Structure 1
């Protein structure tokens, strides 16, 4: 089965997924907002700013024209930062309305919208007609573009209220190094993909401070407990957090040098200032914005998330990292399986 698909977002993940789809035999148009990047992809089949050593399939066609990108496609894959999701969705929706097209909408974006705290599926629901939004497929799990680029074996989750659409997406992506599993728990998959970025910043901070593997394992495990508590309160299936978009994504994001969130935390742990870290990163660090959303959601739902709260205070209130660690360690003893605490 060969399909026409538009990939929106020419960063590292968008470029690698476009390449994967092209190599799977599909017709791929890759849309971005940089004329220089589009020209580089089309002329040299590289995207050196994001992936210095990667060769993009010559079958991938990069473009700056959104309308031509969307013409006649059977699916649209969003791979853009959370902050831009609503902006781009507002541009896509009227183009589809004008043509009457009804492609499957897929999102590989992981985050929560600032101020509204909305998940990606809710943003799409605001901007697209119900007949398109209800079939949205969320693409999430433990994956770094750099590893997929080298055909490292990768397994992800595709979640949708319409399992038929999820299975269609599963079929067009799968190959001998890329395997997908379906799930109908949109809430859990989206929250797992967003909230793990906060914990990953914490894991980077610990590494930057020189803490060892015991400490990192404790952070990841108790971080998962916090993600699960909030997710369950918001209607997620608890088992989702034991899967690829839960513990799987948390592990890879909290332990890999490819993780922007981990690298941000590592720099903070070494004493760098947040503004300097973000300025030098060159890419969006989703966990910084998500930390604020998680803090507000925890208060709204009356859920205890002490690790996430400490990370929030370090990022937004200039709290001393070591003081926050001491506070966490001096909390009164709890039962491990008490999901309310």
Structure 2
């Protein structure tokens, strides 16, 4: 049935647009153990509404993903609502040549360029930015989270929870996120990198995937997207690939699947997800290992910081290769130990695994911050404020490895297992305990 829907959508899209579009057959994915059922409430009805897509986050990666899905919405107007809505954190920006600052949403909607976080890249006209969360996500079918992970909880509490409270007052009853704010069958995709550490009970810490945190907070099925994706390269439409994972339990879960779907397709279908995110320059594989994709995406940033250290110290490619080898070993060990649902092949076969590690350790934000940290260390600076350095190097953006290193160390100390992960422990000590960077080899010599 999914194939039939894709054929119909392709045919109707060709009729609506006066140009050719590539066949939906190209959107087929080698999904593992997932049911390909696109319509859940009877016969295919092409008159049903297209899927509405919303993106939360306006940094360089958030902007890039917003560009990607907006292009797909234009290409497949039968499957996806052409207008992609985009929540951005409002700030005042001076556009080039202008004398006065304006809200970033105004600049995005009128000049179609994110001059602060992704300058020089033209954004699609069908991408509509707003600082109003309800306006951005109302009745959406696919919700993409793409913000620095340390702000996820506060964004939900500050911008989404008040919507639920206001809805409850209006309706005179308790409201739910799915059904009262977004579509009842809505799913989420997390592009975030990191973990959530539950600090409710210091004697019983819990570590959580960010996809599970979103699911728990909003009761919305959540998958992950991660891969060897430097935002600037993807935005320039240089060839790359990524991995999307979606929890298989929701594909067969009766409560989720039996929900009456008013859209032309059910958003959890792997072919629908691939069609939305896949571009000629941005290739997508859809799998079902959310844990593996999430763990690899989070921990590679810690390794990249260490790679930056040895690059800044001038130790060369051999040292960087050693860091990456040890890092891959610790990533897989951490994933299998603390998230046993993750699959070993994800770390080695998928773009979200070793490919992302290589890319991030060569050109990502974290390696840049680590390299500059080491250069300043060699200059004799022993009182480096890592937060200030991060802002200086990244123009206000976030190197996720810094806070992830802190979170992972907190977890490993709670488990009394820091000695089992010497590289992760080494990065934490260098950043937060002012350890001697020149002692990195001895800190890693634990065998």
- Aligned pairs for 1:1-341 (under 5 A) are 3-24=51-72, 25=74, 26-35=82-91, 36-90=103-157, 91-92=159-160, 94=164, 96-97=177-178, 98-99=180-181, 101-102=183-184, 103-114=186-197, 115=199, 117-129=207-219, 132=220, 135-162=221-248, 164-234=268-338, 235=340, 236-242=342-348, 243-256=350-363, 259-271=364-376, 273=384, 274-280=386-392, 281=394, 282-299=396-413, 300=415, 302=417, 304-328=420-444, 330-332=445-447
Partner of 1:337: none
| Per-residue deviation, 1:287 | 0.4
Indicate the SS of the match to 1:6. strand
- Separation in structure 2 between the aligned mates of residue 223 and residue 99 of structure 1, nearest angstrom: 41
- Separation in structure 2 between the aligned mates of residue 49 and residue 100 of structure 1, nearest angstrom: 30
Larger RCO of the pair (alpha carbons < 8 Å, separation 6+): 2
| Per-residue deviation, 1:176 | 1.0
- Taking structure 1 as reference, are residues 275 and 158 closer, same or farther at Cα in structure 2, changes over 3 Å only? closer
| Per-residue deviation, 1:124 | 1.1
| Per-residue deviation, 1:43 | 1.2
- Separation in structure 1 between the aligned mates of residue 286 and residue 387 of structure 2, nearest angstrom: 39
| Per-residue deviation, 1:100 | 6.2
Larger radius of gyration: 2
Q: Normalization by structure 2: what TM-score?
A: 0.69
- Separation in structure 2 between the aligned mates of residue 21 and residue 238 of structure 1, nearest angstrom: 30
Q: Write the deviation string for residues 160-204 of structure 1: whole angstroms up to 9, x where unpaired.
A: 113654442112111211111122122111110000000000111
- Separation in structure 2 between the aligned mates of residue 48 and residue 37 of structure 1, nearest angstrom: 9
Q: How many residues were matched structurally?
A: 325
Q: Write the deviation string for residues 30-84 of structure 1: whole angstroms up to 9, x where unpaired.
A: 1112152111111111111111211111221111111111123221100011111
- Separation in structure 2 between the aligned mates of residue 298 and residue 168 of structure 1, nearest angstrom: 38
Which shifted more, 224-233 or 236-245?
Answer: 236-245
Structure 1 residues without counterparts, runs of 5 or longer: 333-341
